[in-house]
Structure formats: C-alpha cells, structure tokens
A and B are shown apart, each in its own frame.
Chain A
Amino acid sequence: MAKDVPPRWDRRMQQRLARGEAAALGELYDRFASLVHSLAHRVLGDEKAADRITREVFGYIWENPDAYDPKQGSMRSWVARITQGQAVARLRQAELGRGSREELEQKVRSANAAARADYIVTSMPAPLRAALELAYFKRRDYRQAAADLQISEDEARRRLRLGLQLLSTANVLPREDTAPPGYGPRGYGTTR
C-alpha cells in the first residue's frame, strides 16, 4: 500500500489529539473526511447515513486517540477500519429483519468487500491506480495505456495485473481469527 504520509505524521497527529488540540482535530478532518465519508457511503448507500458515520468516527477518534497503535499500521488504515466497522454495524441494524439471515450476511459481505476495495484503490501506488483508471474507466487497451503513461507495454501489463491482484485481496473472506487484508490485525480499530 502506498504511504503518502510519513508515519511521523501519524504519531505526531496522535500526540496532538491526545493533548486535546482542536487545530489537530481540524487537520485530521481535512485529511480523512473524504475517505471516511466515501467509505461509509459505499457501505450504506445513503448520504445522511454517511454524514452520521462521519460524525461518529471523528467523535470516536477524538475521544480515543490512544486506541491508535502506530505499530499496527498507518493512521489512514486505522481510520478506514473504524469507518468500515461502524458503517457495517449500521447496515446490520438497518437491514435486520428485512430478509433471511443469509441475505443479510451476503449484503454485509459485499458491503465489506466494496469498502475494502475502495480503500485499496485509494491507497494503491499512484502508477497502478492510473493504469487501472485508463483501462477500466477510460476504456484504453493496454497499448494505449502504455502510450498515455509513457511506459513500455510490458510495464502497462504488469501494472494492470498487479493493480488487480491488490484489488482482489478485498474479496478474500476474513476468517474469525485473521484480519481482513489491508487494515491490520483483527479486532484492532473496532470502536467498542
């Protein structure tokens, strides 16, 4: 996963939040609000609900900055994990009694995969992401993508394959005792 922010930023942010610095809270919001909001929206498909999750997630972080452990991964991944946990919990609540248990689990599974996939796409190295965007959204074939990106065709094929390999980890079902990929160990980053 790309680390666009040095770990030092993460640790420093945690210290500032712990110290009760309102300016740090603003910076935290500016850095992660769109990630939190879009993940919540992907899971819940509703803007109001995503707004609410956003408030809850930042409220939780502000009240519990010490719950973040820099050794377990980036703050970004921690924030994503809290968001996904909170949004999926809300989805379960909202869907309860609306269908069979299997249907609910299916919904939760695909919401989880969609959220992880979004996170993976936004965190993957920019060159991989750019190649995927050209091939998928702009419908360029790999030769055209290579030309657009001024890279060899070999490299274009490599990036498309690697990008999809990263993305495919979102579909891996986490076992109870293991972590879903991308975020760090299981149980870490849950709000309760």
Chain B
Amino acid sequence: MTGPTDDTPDDAYEPPAGGPALIPGPRAAGDDLDPPGVLPSAPPSHAVLKSLLGAWALAACSAEETQAVEDHLTECAPCAEEALRLRDAVGLLHPEESLDLKPLLRSRVLEDCLGKRPARIPVPVWANPYDTETARLDALLRDFGESEWDTPVRLKWFEEDRRRSHRTTVAGVIGHLLTVDGLVATALGLDDPLGPQAPSGGPTGRTEHYWKSAGSPATRKVREPWREQGHTLVRTVSFAGRGVAELDVDYGAFALPLGDAFLERAFECWVHAWDIAEAVDYPYEPPSGPHMHRMIDLAARLLPGALAGRRRSGLAAPARGLVAAGAPGRTLHLEIEGAGGGGWDIALDSPAAKPSREHTVAEVALDGLEFCQLAAGHISPEEAAVGQTGDREAIRDVLFAAASLSRL
C-alpha cells in the first residue's frame, strides 16, 4: 500500500541544504502498489505540510513532498521554527550501543553497595549463585528479537547411559526453567507457575506438561514470569528463617534440601544459558570461581547417592563388601582443576560410608568446566578428558554416575 506519489526516482533526491549529514537519504521504495494519493495535485494544506515535518526532518518522505515542505517553510515561520527544531532532534538519534554489561559488574556493584551499607535482610549465601545466574541469563535475553526467541535449541542429557536430546526453542528453554523452578516455588508455598492442576512429578513430567499444555509454542512472553518468579524466590528465602535451607524440595524421584535445590537451579540456569548462547552464537562465560565451586561441590555430594542408585539398577559394579554407616570405605579422590576447583573424596560403597584417604582406590583429575559439562550431560563419560590412576572400574562408575546426574 505504499509507494512514491510521483515519478521522480529517489536517486534524484537532494537532501535539504544545510541539513545534518546524519540524516540518511530515503532509500528507493521497494514496492509497486498504487500510491495512496496523500498529496493531490492541488497544493497541500498547511495542516498536511505541518504533519509532514517529522517525516521531512527524517528524510522519510517523497521528493515531491520534500519540495512542498521546503517551499512552505519559506513562508510559514511557525513551521520553519519547528522544522529546525525537529531536524536538530534527528541529530540526537543515536544507535543504541549494544554494549553488553559485563556480567561480573553486577556482583561487583552489589558487593560495593553492601560494603558501604550492610544489608539488614541479606540474600542467603546459598541463594547467591541462583540470583547471579538468573540475572546473567536475563541480561543475555534482554536484546533478543523475535527470531532469537524462536531459535532452535537442542537440550542434551544422559539417561540410562544413553545420550538423549530434545529440540525446543529459546523460549521453550525459558519455559522449562520457569516450570522446574516452580518446584522450588511450591516448596516455599508460592504459586505453582503451572497452576493448581499441575501434574505431580519431577522436572521432566512438569516440563513435558508445560510444553504440551501451552498449546502454541512458547514466545518471548515467558521471560517476564520466569524472571518474576526468580526474583520472588530470592526475596522469599531472604525473609525466611535460617532453617529454611533444610526444607525439602520434592523433585519426584528424589528430594533436595532447599539450599541444594537453589544450587541445582543455578547450575541448570547456567547450563541452559550456555545452550541458548551456543544456539544464537553469543559468547557466554562460566560462573565465577566461588559459585562454580559450590555447584561442583553439590555434584560431588550427590555422586555417592547416584552411584548407589545405578548399582541398584545394575548399571554399576556391585559394592565390594558392606560398610557400616559412618565407617570409612573405599574412596575415589576427585581433583577438579581451574576456577572453582578443589579436591573431593567420594565414598564408593555407600552414601553412608565415610570417605577416607587411607582407603582411596582411585584418583581422577579433570577441569572444572569439563566436569560440569559431564554432569550436565553435554559430554559423555568416554569423551571427558580425564587424568586417572587406580581402580578403573571405580573410575568408570563415578564418571557414569556424574553423567547420570543430568536430565532434561
């Protein structure tokens, strides 16, 4: 429905004399539909010319209109005054610099502030990684246009020692995070984002329910409720008493104390932010060393339980003898290198056994990022670049147990 109202090719357009160089020339109209006839052959009225001043200042009208406006400006002082003002205003238009805020700036600013005036109601330390990771992901999403929100993302994980994957979109991933964070919300007595008819069950069942019941695919509209819920979670645990960290969060097949659930959600948030960043080809940094350390620590603490579960399903070698609860048992030493690294002793025979230096049968060393990729199901145990000595079966079992921590 648009098109030039005259036959003058746009190439013939001359910018108004003295106009700021910033004003781009109008580009050739790319359509061939009937001109709507805004300007009849009779000279346009003052009202029409006045209404064109903005378009004129932006060089966004036809050559004929430009001429008509400029003729008018020589005889109409109020319009001439406004034209000048609007043209100067065009000089103030500036492309928004997509300066990415450095993710670390947030932590620094908050630390700075809290150093000047300590919080009377602090965020619990175990909720800090979640607070930081959700803010980081949100900053990544901030400048996404529709096409980015629709970008396909392949979620990967390990199930029964096989690679699994599911294709969704950026918006679908945020919906997944919203849905699973909802487990923590309901544990705190907050509203379930899936509503009162939410299916019981863990992260996978809930996510599948969400993807199915959403009817149409998720859109960017999912960002707001996800973000809002994240803020509410952090605010709620700030006000809760000390004991809240021990509150159980029900994941269906297992439960985690709230403090660990926040760490788990922080880890998931980072991993999926990474998936998203990869899909849209943006860089994305790992979490800060101290936060990554807490996430790795959680995984290390979950390993004996995961091993025992795999043993029950016949996926791991049987325990080498019974160990009384609290007694030292066979141990694998996990040495994580790089930022967030450290050493962890993993009890091999039972989650109740005490890890022990004397009973160490194997040592495994790998990079922190590599370990996180393994625990996220992004790489397989065979692919992980691992330095190892000692009992190979124990090492294999632990690496597979690490991969089994991943899920949709």
Contacts and interface: CB of A to CB of B under 8 A. Distances in A.
Contacts of B122: 22
Given A21-B120, A167-B92, A136 B99 contact: no
B53 interface: yes
Interface in B331-351: none
B86 to A, nearest CB: 4
B262 to A, nearest CB: 13
A107 interface: no
Residue among B26, B55, B88 with most chain A CB within 10 A: B55
Q: How large is the interface on B (under 10, 10 to 19, 20 to 34, 35 or more residues)?
A: 35 or more
B253 interface: no
Contacts of B90: 136, 164
Interface stretch (A68-76, A98-106, A146-154, A184-192): A146-154
A164 B2 CA distance: 22
B3 to A, nearest CB: 7
Given A23-B238, A141-B26, A154-B51, A38 B123 contact: no
A165 B57 CA distance: 11
A62 B115 CA distance: 11
B109 interface: yes
A157 B57 CA distance: 11
B322 interface: no
Q: How large is the interface on A (under 10, 10 to 19, 20 to 34, 35 or more residues)?
A: 35 or more
Nearest to B52: A157
Nearest to A131: B54
By DSSP majority rule, is chain A's interface helix, strand, loop, or mixed? helix
B93 A167 contact: yes
B92 A117 contact: yes
A165 B82 CA distance: 8
Interface in A111-162: 113-114, 117-118, 121-122, 132, 135-137, 139-147, 153-154, 156-162
A58 B112 contact: yes
A142 B120 CA distance: 54
Nearest to A172: B85
B121 A21 contact: yes
B300 to A, nearest CB: 28
Contacts of A62: 113-114, 116-117
A168 B85 contact: yes
Given A23-B238, A29-B110, A157-B51, A137 B135 contact: no
Contacts of A42: 94
B54 A145 contact: no
Contacts of B38: 153
B61 A141 contact: yes
B93 A142 contact: no
Nearest to B115: A59
B62 A58 contact: no
Contacts of B118: 20
A164 B89 contact: yes
A182 to B, nearest CB: 13
Given A25-B110, A144-B2, A171-B88, A20 B99 contact: no
A3 interface: no
B123 A161 contact: no
A22 B114 contact: yes
Contact of B105 (A23, A33, A63, A161): A33
Contacts of B142: 34
A20 B93 contact: no
Contacts of A22: 110, 114, 119, 121-123, 238
A51 interface: yes
Contact of A33 (B1, B54, B109, B227): B109
Given A23-B231, A117-B94, A165-B86, A37 B99 contact: yes
B102 interface: yes
B383 interface: no
Interface in B66-123: 82, 85-86, 88-90, 92-97, 99, 101-102, 105-106, 108-110, 112-114, 116-123
Interface of B: 1-3, 24-27, 29-31, 36, 38, 51-55, 57-58, 60-62, 82, 85-86, 88-90, 92-97, 99, 101-102, 105-106, 108-110, 112-114, 116-123, 131, 135, 138-139, 142, 227, 231, 234-235, 238
Closest 9 CB pairs of A and B: A161-B54, A20-B120, A143-B2, A160-B54, A117-B92, A22-B119, A168-B89, A62-B113, A142-B55
15 contacts: A19-B121, A21-B119, A33-B109, A38-B96, A38-B97, A42-B94, A47-B99, A59-B113, A139-B26, A142-B60, A143-B29, A143-B36, A145-B60, A146-B2, A154-B51
Given A55-B108, A167-B93, 14 more contacts: A33-B101, A33-B106, A38-B96, A51-B102, A58-B113, A59-B112, A63-B117, A117-B89, A122-B96, A132-B93, A136-B93, A141-B60, A153-B38, A167-B89
